[in-house]
């Protein structure tokens, strides 16, 4: 692995030469999406040929025996389709907040019921007292 400024570069060869970069804290890095085998994809760059300099997303296991064929050109990404995991986490967070809100409303309604039952009991007791002691 060679060191170039603030980023690490790894060159991989298998038909097409590509390089993989890890962005430093000073550069903006895009997170890869989840591929078919549920691993986070990596951003690679073509080193030679007609597509030299073009970036693409690839499964980190594309050169292993358990080969995953996930491949997507970075410039052809459909930004309208968000990362499913991020979308799911957002939905979970929204549901958690809604659940908390409903719990608070339920507790408030329970308190109202307790107050109403207390008033009902006091009212019944006053009526009983008036009925027994009011006729003298």
Q: How many domains does the chain have?
A: 2
**Structural domain of residue 114, as residue ranges?**
82-136
Q: What local confidence, expressed as pLDDT, does residue 76 receive?
A: 79
Q: Average pLDDT for consecutive 10-residue bins of the chain (136 residues)?
A: 34 40 35 74 90 88 76 72 73 92 97 97 94 78
Both tokens of 2, joined, read 């060679």
Q: What local confidence, expressed as pLDDT, does residue 29 receive?
A: 45
| Cα(28)–Cα(56) distance, integer angstroms | 16
Q: Are residues 66 and 7 in the same domain?
A: yes
Residue 38 region by backbone torsions, left for phi larger than 0, else alpha for psi between -120 and 50, else beta: left
pTM for the full predicted model: 0.37
Select from 58, 81, 104 the last residue of a domain: 81
Q: Are residues 71 and 101 in the same domain?
A: no
């Amino acid at each position: 692995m060679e060191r170039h400024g603030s980023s690490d570069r790894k060159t991989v060869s298998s038909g097409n030469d590509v390089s993989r970069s890890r962005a430093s804290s000073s550069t903006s890095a895009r997170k890869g999406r989840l591929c078919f085998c549920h691993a986070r994809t990596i951003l690679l760059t073509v080193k030679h040929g007609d597509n030299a300099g073009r970036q693409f997303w690839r499964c980190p296991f594309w050169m292993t025996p358990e080969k995953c064929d996930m491949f997507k050109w970075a410039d052809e990404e459909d930004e309208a389709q968000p990362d499913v995991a991020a979308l799911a986490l957002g939905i979970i967070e929204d549901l958690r907040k809604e659940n908390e809100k409903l719990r608070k409303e339920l507790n408030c309604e329970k308190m109202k019921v307790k107050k109403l039952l207390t008033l009902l009991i006091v009212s019944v007791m006053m009526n009983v007292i008036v009925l027994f002691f009011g006729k003298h």
